[in-house]
Chains A and B, each alone.
Chain A
């Protein structure tokens, strides 16, 4: 289903172990970048030596004379093929940062390239666009800024009809956007938002994916909440994005992924989430989640977790909006299939990407916190035990599971009755044996609710050496008040 993968060949001439090692390295580098708030997906792109990544031979770094010669040939050569070849050679050279530097420092080089980009020779135009694309991969903002003279044309071409060309322009724009605020400051008055809003009506999947990428880069800019997101929300882009995320036969996961991430950035900015809710975002996201849960059972499709992640983030954050209760959000919150879907996804995450489990549990918290309906669903669908099975996985997961259980328990005796008897108490005794303060703290909260609404639990707690379990923590600053309170309740009722 991902249009990308079968179309291009993955040219790596090395073994699986090597691939895994490289991937671990890249992952570590990305983690580090994120912690330093430098996570930019375009960076680190060519860490691997190009020769290995390509599998075909790659040109060497070009010197100034060569760059000049290729440009001259491309511009003024007499033979069509000769001109094309010159540009191809230039493009290959531009894979190297050194050549990029030489190019941008050469007077008139960008002007020539732009001339070729707008010429009447289609193949030269394409190659010129590819040269620009190479330049857009640079990690130096100076190179991105050198491409400024081309941006008005890249935008103009978005309303053309050549879908491959449009795709290339979009990826180039996306790369330039992420690299430099100066570029973004020019693209906005040049009309990038209306251009994207027009382009999103294209029927071509590859164009839509590229557009989603470019838009996601635009939305990640640090100035996006003030300078970019308002005009995006004013345009027709949100409606189209949601349309492209509707489950059904026309849904393309590669496209949906891009727009799901776009939505995530928009929602996190909190500029106007109410508007998104008015456009039906909750409904679309909810339906998509159901669809995903169905899909993970059916197929061996790669990459569904890449879509699940932003979808559940969007849904979860939207649920915190006050507007939800006022509007049709009610509908979503009263359909227990969403809880069923979430647990099916938990099982899927356990196999594919366990790190997504905390995000899923966070959504479950947001779904159940203020919803007696969905808390009841957890009970009626027998999901408490599966939930408890997740406890040992990690401290973060434990805290979230316990929080969800507290959501259920705090609704009163009718709910606690359903939690009792059962594995809950023995699980709590196990979590009390841990040393993580947050896990233990949340366990204490749950115990209080249980003791309050289901007094029989106290006896069982005492019989299973609960007091000793509590004693472990009575010196802990964060916990001692609650420990003492529970000890009092347990002993005196």
Chain B
């Protein structure tokens, strides 16, 4: 297909167009038996004109999905330990460590060491578990916010909230990030009163940072390992420090 030489230059040029030629229609145009009418045409999704484009799209997706399913390459490094106080997990690949850090230390409560998968859930936890003002306010108004992002509902008790999440949002009744508050301190392994946690024998309260070194399975006898204590400098995280209270206006009301 031969295109006029000036076309590419026109594309790169300024927006706009030449003044349109005058339109002057004769009523005989398109009159029966003729029927032409100039009109934009809408095509539905299933139109056969779209067949080839759709097929190419799906071929592409199949390739992408095949690649996604493959095991990713990981960058191997000499083994090192997580530097967060009390955490003793060991890693030999940067991606693994980044994942570990993001999941366990990225949104961790500095008061009880529980870790959460998102800032949103951490904030809810801090409010509900560690904020005495919250408890006071909760006696008078609905303070327990629905944990599903985007849902504005609030409830009088955590029980009511859980009911809402189960019935309205179809969440599981034993949703791990909505444990009723216990009176225990940092969770002890395997000793929870919460019966649903018993199904998982060794995890105890969910997302616990390993706070008790003695509780970790000991290295098999006969093996001695020396771990580097430096986190490779290539690791860099956006968020990270465990948080306690965010500074909020409420602080001023603390007396």
A30 within 8 A of B: yes
Chain A contacts for B209, CB-based, 8 A? 120
- By the criterion CB–CB under 8 Å, are A362 and B41 in contact? yes
B69 within 8 A of A: yes
For chain A residues 231-270, which have a beta carbon within 8 Å of chain B?
257, 261, 264-265, 268
When distances are taken between beta carbons in the complex, the residues of chain A under 8 Å from B12 are 294
B177 touches A171 (CB 8 A): no
Contact call A122/B100, Cβ cutoff below 8 A: yes
Inter-subunit contact A122/B89 (CB<8 Å)? yes
Q: Which of A330-338, A425-433, A466-474 contacts B (4 or more CB under 8 A)?
A: A330-338
Interface class of chain B by DSSP: loop
Residues of A within 8 A of B52 (CB): 353, 355-356
Quick one: which of A75, A195, A385 contacts B201, CB cutoff 8 A? A75
The verdict on B228 contacting chain A, using a C-beta distance below 8 Å, is no
- In the assembled complex, which residues on chain A have CB atoms less than 8 Å from the CB atom of B104? 120, 122
Contact between B149 and A198, CB atoms less than 8 A apart: yes
Q: Is the CB of B1 within 8 A of A350?
A: yes
Interface residues of B in 84-140 (CB under 8 A from A): 89, 95-96, 98-100, 102-104, 106-107, 115, 117-121
Task: List residues of chain A with CB within 8 A of the CB of B203.
Answer: 115, 119-120
Known: A137-B69, A407-B38. A37 touches B46 (CB 8 A): yes
Interface CB pairs A-B, < 8 A, 15? A45-B66, A112-B200, A119-B206, A120-B104, A123-B96, A293-B11, A294-B11, A320-B42, A334-B16, A335-B17, A353-B52, A372-B23, A410-B36, A412-B26, A449-B29
Further pairs besides A355-B52, A452-B26: 14, Cβ < 8 Å: A8-B73, A9-B70, A119-B206, A133-B69, A152-B171, A191-B149, A213-B64, A313-B43, A337-B15, A343-B7, A359-B49, A383-B4, A386-B1, A414-B24
Q: Which residues of A are interface residues toward B (Cβ below 8 A)?
A: 4, 8-11, 23, 26-27, 30-31, 34-35, 37, 39, 41-42, 44-45, 53-54, 75-76, 78-80, 111-112, 115, 118-123, 125-126, 130, 133-134, 137, 149, 152-153, 156-157, 159-162, 164-165, 167-168, 171, 175, 186, 189-191, 193-195, 197-198, 210, 213, 257, 261, 264-265, 268, 290, 293-294, 297, 303, 305-306, 309-310, 313, 316-317, 319-320, 334-337, 340-341, 343-344, 346-347, 350, 353, 355-356, 358-359, 362, 365-366, 368-370, 372-377, 379-383, 385-386, 389-390, 396, 406-407, 410-415, 418, 442, 444-446, 448-449, 452-453, 481-482, 484-485
